[in-house]
Structures are given as C-alpha cells and as structure tokens.
Homo-oligomer: A and B are copies of this chain.
Amino acid sequence: MVEFYDTTLRDGSQAEGVAFSVEDKLIIIEALDKLGIRYIEGGYPGSNPKDIEFFKRAKGIALETATIVPFGSTRYPTYTVDADPNLTALLDTGARTVTIFGKSWRLHATDVLRVTAEENLELIESSVRYLVENGREVIYDAEHFFDGYADDAEYAIETLRAAATGGASCLVLCDTNGGRLPLEIQEGVKVVLSELSLPVGIHTHNDAGMGAANSVLAVQAGATHIQGTFNGYGERCGNANLASIIPTIQLKLGIKCLSDTQLQALTRVSRLISELANLPHDERQPYVGSSAFAHKGGLHTDAIRKNRLTYEHIVPETVGNTQRILVSDQAGRGTIMKKIEKEYPDYDKNSPQVLELFKRLKEAEQEGYQYEAAEASFELLTHKVFNGYESFFEPVGFRVIIEQFSDYAMRSEATVKVTTPDGLTAHTAADGDGPVNALDTALRKALEQFYPALQTVRLIDYKVRVLDTKAGTGSKVRVLIEASDGERTWSTVGVSENIISASAKH
C-alpha cells in the first residue's frame, strides 16, 4: 500500500504564476479528499497569515479520507521549542498531523541556518519531540536528503536518526533541488530502509525532468509515502506531478490506492486545479492533458482505427480522459474520414465533398487558422461543405466605439445591423464592459429576437495569439473562443489583423 500526500496548496503555490485564495484552497481540499488523497498539506502557518486563516476555516469541513496537515520548519536556532513562533503556529492550527522539515545537508546547516552540524541534529530531534509530546503525529521532511547523502552519507543518515529518536512517524527523503537521477534515488531509499525502521516517503522536484520517475523508482525501492503536487506546480520547474504518479503506480505497478471511480475523476480534478490556479491546463501532461490521447500522424490515426492499443499505453477512460483525432496538415483524408464518419457515414475518401473539405482546410491553415483546438469551427466548415451554406443571418455591419476623456468614464458602445434569410432586419445598440462585450451584447440583442436559444450561450474562455510577431501592433491575431450553453462546450477560431474582427468571425 502506498499513501499520497498532496502539497499543491503549499509547495505548489511556490510556482511562478500560482496563488490560491482561501476559497480556492477549500474547494481543492474537498476535491482531493474525494479523490482518495491521504494527506493534504494546506499551508505554512508560520510564514503566512493567509494560511492561518485557511486552517481555521478548513476545520469546518468534513472530510472522508484526507487529513489536513500544516507545514513548518524545525525550531529557529535562537528560540527554545516552546517559545518558537513557527512550532507554536503549527500547534495553534489544532491539526492532528504536522509536517516539519529539517536540514540533511551540512552546507545548509552551516551556510543557511549558520549552526554546527551537531547543533542541527539537536534542532531536529528537539523539534520533533516537542510536537510529539504535544500529541501530534509528525511527518519529517528531510530537505535536500539526496544532495546531503551525496556530500556526506553518514551525516545525512544521522539527521534522519535524530528525527526518528524524536518520535517522527515517517521519514520523507526530499530531492529539494530536483537534480538527482533515478538510480541515486533508488539507492538512497534502499539504504535508509536498511538503516532505520520507520516508513520512508519521497518528495521530488522536476529540475532535470525526472520528478515522476524518481518517485516511481522510490516506490519500487520500498517507499510507501509519496509527496507531490497536482499538475506538477512548484518552485522552479515544479514538484513531481501526482497526476502522472498516481495512475503510473496504480496501473503499471499494480498497487491499488484509489477506487476505479476515484481514478476516473483524475482528469477532472487536475483541470479543476488548473482552473483555480488560473493557469492554462498543460494539455501535453501525461494522462490528464487533452493531447495525452490525441492522434495526429496519419499512420497513427490509421492504426488506432484498427486497434486502439496500438498507440495508447492505457485506456484513456480509466483516468477520465478520452481519445481525440486531430485535423492538421499532416492529416490525410483518412483522419478526416475518422472525424466525420459518424455524421456522414455514406461518404468515402474520394467523395467530392471530402476532397472539397480537405482543400478548404489546407487553405484555411495557410491563412493561420488551426482547427486542432477549435472543433466547433471544424464542424461548421464541414456542415457548410456537406449541406451547403445555410446562413442564419447576414451581417450588414457593425461599429464599436471605445472612448475615455478626462471628463467622463470609459465607455464602450457597439451598434449592429443584421438581416435574416426571411428579409427581417434588426438594428441594435448596446454598451458593454469593453468592446468585445459591447459587440457581443448588441449582436445578442439582434439575434435573440429571431433565435431565443442563444440566451443560454455564454463565453467561457477567450485567447488571443499574435501570429506574426514581426509586425508589431499591426500583426495578425488568432482568437480562440470557448463557449458553452451550460451543457456542451465548444471552441471556434478566427484570424484577422483586427482583434475585434477576429472575434466577430466566430
């Protein structure tokens, strides 16, 4: 059995661009608990008042599996344990389990803490003992264990012994700088298991791209506690990614930790955390990215039509993901057939409509369109080619005015004129919070008269990408828009020199 320890909320929030509000954190702990995570490190109360607030509010939440854990350090050299503000902050959270880190590398003892190697051992032992005497379960994070081991193996082991003597319940070996290689991790874990009789944990970083591999090799060497973050968020290149490690351990090492239903929630939880971190989801992520089971090469898409095992290492649905077939300039007509075969089963590779669709795709890609991320635009194009162009409305024109002068507030106003195939005309105007909003509102006013179903449609995400950076503000832009009617979500793409026009092309 292996237990997972998530530190997205603490180590993860040390990633560039990541900051969680207390509300975000409360949503995340509920999701991680349901997923079957054993420990959730919620924050560092000794360093951050926002985290103290979090631990207060987290107490009100009933969890099924998870224990919320505060993180801190061994006591400061200048304080006794009972006067140490950091240890006091840990106890004040009221948490039953606490994690503290100490120094395993002489360099850190002498150069950062500025104590002797002997004093450092005492800091570790006394801090752990004080927390244990106060009724806490103590997880001990041996910071820089592997660097320390490489520098002075005997001393690194001594620091663990100090924690064990103090009463720690688990010794977590950390590759804090993320530069150690899998076989070094394997050796370190084996040696510690042979020298000490406590359960061993692993905490790795991704600075050499080995975060997940190092965690998996540690488990193969006998570690039973794994620390990591979702989406690999963390200082510098990030921590080991639990969204990669959990399915690898469960599906490939055959160590069952989560129920099948919990594992199927993996992709959803990973996306939720990206959303709350306010970062684009890394779509190339193993298991949980939208590219993880997306096939583009012509040979690959051909082969998976015959047998999906040929180019998929696991069944995507096991982790709540799905297979996708991409349309690109590498796509042959076979790929296009695979995408349209459900809706247009009576056509083959040589039908004039398929040839026409193929030609139009190539032309649009030349112009800067990319359909890989814009399924709805691909569907619209296919619909036009196969069923002829059915226009629901004809745009006559639009005008957007954005102005701000010192004597009045910023204002965005749009007017829109459209006609329907029946000869009806709508001419509307609207204000908005910005030009895209004003245009959207005016266009809705016009179209909702004829098509009330549009009322449920709203914008989910809006992405702008400059295509030709050499042309400065005169560059072409590609605008990708994600919209939803509350049930389905779809993406469309537009390209223009004008950001407003590129948006309107959707």
Query: What residues make up the interface of A, taking CB atoms closer than 8 Å to B?
Result: 13-17, 19, 47-48, 50, 73, 107-108, 111-112, 176-179, 181-183, 206-214, 216-217, 220, 232, 235-238, 241, 244-245, 248, 252-253, 275, 278, 283-287, 289, 291-300, 302-303, 306-307, 309-314, 326, 328-330, 365, 370, 372-373, 395-407, 410, 412, 417, 432-437, 440-441, 458-467, 469, 472-475, 477, 496-501
Contact = CB atoms under 8 A, between A and B. Distances in A.
A410 B498 contact: yes
Given A313-B178, A400-B403, A464 B463 contact: yes
Per assembly, the copies of the chain total 2
Nearest to A440: B473
A128 B317 CA distance: 39
A355 to B, nearest CB: 16
Contacts of A433: 473-475, 497-498
Contacts of A330: 13-14, 19, 48
Contacts of A291: 15-16, 236-237
Contact of A237 (B285, B329, B405, B501): B285
Given A307-B107, A434-B473, A434-B500, A210 B212 contact: yes
24 contacts: A13-B330, A14-B300, A14-B330, A16-B291, A16-B296, A16-B326, A112-B310, A177-B311, A177-B312, A208-B244, A235-B295, A235-B296, A235-B300, A237-B286, A238-B284, A397-B405, A397-B406, A398-B402, A398-B404, A402-B435, A433-B474, A433-B475, A435-B500, A459-B475
B207 A292 contact: yes
A286 B205 CA distance: 10
Contact of A405 (B47, B111, B417, B472): B417
